Structure 1
Amino acid sequence: MPFCADTFNVSGGKKYSMKSRLAIHGGKPVIQAPRPHFRWPPSVPGLTAALAEYVEAGGPLSIPGRDGIYAKLEDRLAALHDRRYALLTSSGTMALYSAFFAIGLEPGDEVISTVYSFHATATPLLHLGALIHFCDVEPDTGNIDAGELASLVTPRTRAVVTNHMWGHPVDVEAVAAICRRNRIAWVEDCSHAHFAQYRGRTVGKFGDVSVLSLQGNKLLTGGEGGVLLTDSREIYERATLLGHSLKRSEECVEDLRWREIRRTGYGLKFRMHPLAAVMVDHLLEHHCFSWIQSRAKTLQRFSDGLAATGKVLPMARRPYVTSMGAHYGFKPRLDFQAFGVSRETLVKALQAEGLEVEIPGSPPFHRLPIFDPERFRIGGFQKKDHRGRSFPGAEAYTASTLSLPTFTFPEDLPMVDAYVEAFHKVFHHIEELK
């Protein structure tokens, strides 16, 4: 919806004058629809029937082996990511724990982690006794800075873990080259980026081992769940032994080094619930890829509309990004210093206009207490001391972003336009907020 210098329209045909007062100063809000304006997952046609059909047909509610819906979904996910092996888990966090365990990390091994992601990208390393060395991120994408990554590798470095933040792939070629050159493993966290593409290839293919979260807020979801992907038989078997004992480990573990523990494995249980697997399989079959296309169009319109204010920066997108896939979150960036209003003040003004807008809640890892070696220890394991280090890329990125709804469907477009108009209104009156 085009912006007019004197008046602007919002959904429903209402017209607001640019002379109207800001809602935070007693004026009428642009959006009066009750919140929330966006919920995920949406109501899914056919899902209830698919779950009921599975149960009524006698589908097992516990699967100790690689049978039935497990085999079907693992084969589907492996094929979609061009991988030899897929292993379903109870969560993305457990998929990450399995990945770190499966590459053979031992206490004292150094792992380089992005300093910005959801904390579970790195917290499993604490339980394995790894020394975590944080790497700064690009200030416009939030992804690991490959230039700094290369400078952080030491003879003790065993692995690197990255995340494709909010759906934007990392610089795959640069990260892969660093890992190959130094003979270190790459754990590729794709939890934000289901089916995003780097130069036409789906993420999840590039790391030595890759993981996806299938938690309830993700586009592809089982409510809770995760998946580990790899081409390495050894990684697959070690991950199986860790969390999938008895029939599954007896069936799938062939390496004679582990024959004495093929039945018991390492004693943990990380299996996905079969009904979660049914849900994921149904979404893959009927909805996932159309949702991805719809979300891409909707968020591009949102981004373009916000960029037209002249205050919100265009959505960052490197030339190598073919698709942002599930595009897990919509986090536009602003240069708050340029217009002299704090982020907190702007958020309050936008909220008064009826928007669901927040300051993102995930700080860089070096500011999280769980990574402070003097305050918290897990089982006495070692931690890298990051006090005194600076991470300007992460600080710049996290200081510049807002969190807005990840609008996805055509029926969301009127609300998208209303949000854009609210931004125009607030920016028109920006001097009143100083």
Structure 2
Amino acid sequence: MRMLDVIDAKRNGGVLTDEQIQFFVDGVVDGSIPDYQISALLMAIYFQKMTAPEQTKLTMAMLESGDQLDLSKIDGIKVDKHSTGGVGDKTSLPLAAMVAALGIPVPMISGRGLGHTGGTLDKLEAIPGFRVELTEEEFINQVQSIGLAIVGATGQIAPADARIYGLRDVTDTVDSIPLIASSILSKKLASGTDALVIDVKTGSGAFMKEEADAQSLAHALVEIANGAGVKSMAIISDMNQPLGDKIGNSLEIEESIDVLKGKGPADLVELILTLGSQMAVLGKKAANLDEARQKLQATIDDGSALEKFKQMIEMQGGDTRVIDDYSIMPQAKYKIDIKAEKDGVVSQITADEIGVASMLLGGGRAAKEDKLDYSVGIVLSHKVGDQVKKGDTLLTVYSNQEDITKVEQLIRDNYLIGDAAEPIKLIHEIITD
């Protein structure tokens, strides 16, 4: 078989055979296919797309290209959650603790942030001493012990994806739905979970800015995961404004703990309860979504979710004093209020640009090698639909530089005050098959 024939078949709109896809993935991993031919096929897939069976085969071939975790020693139905990422999206942290507090094992393998979207691992590393890199044995033992662990990928998971993703980034094929779906699921399915809930973001701060694209991706993810034997569902949620009130690594740990103390912002709590209810039903700890929501809320009310989060911090080497003392995390030198310049209603907060503002402060990465400043970020005082008066604080910038002129201008250009605002619907759609 020649790689040229595989490229030719897809370029001309053909359906690749299982053998052709396996040949491609094998060549990616062993290095026998050069970057320029991989890039050519990626571009052909970008324009010609893939059928559902093609997407499934590509995902499974990438999955099988590396290590797969065996979680059979862990009792119960193991349920994980994945988000396509957004600004202020710290959902996984309180959600995992709440679901684990119901007795559902949550073996969560997460990633780091790049650009304006924050990574779960980066946030956790704002807690002094917290270890996100565990051995496979440590990971399994911890989930057995307390029902929860949040870590980076262990071993050599989906090595084909690592090479393909790097080439997607430089060939402008990142936003291909078949390539996104295979990248996400080749890693998630390798984690050995039994069920998966997926949060697909849509809007200005999301990867899928158009809802139709988010729907296509969500359906592809659910179909592939279910086809691989992992019970799956997806929620399409809004990312036209930041989620919650706090953006930045230490700040998002604060807000995550606030949620577990019953003091979280309404939109973040609602998304957590929506996702968590699906996880609880999949994990067979609730007969229906209403019962699941009540049980999840009870884990906040009785303190069991907060205790579960504290146990995870302790077992992964973190300083548990953070639960009651946020100041042990890195703190910014300056807190600068950005005030409203007129009366009106907050009509728009362009999420991705507010995320870029946080990144410019040092809270995100423009390149993978960039070092994060865990202390910086943004705290919103008002969100879309809120009435404000001239002089009211719109948000507070946490910075280690006194001069934030460029950041302030970026914020003002994307934090608009008008006469009225269109209401934002948080949950757009729920996809179960």
Using the size of structure 2 for normalisation, the TM-score is 0.29
Q: Which has the higher helix share?
A: 2
Higher RCO structure, 1 or 2 (CA under 8 Å, sep 6+) = 1
Using the size of structure 1 for normalisation, the TM-score is 0.29
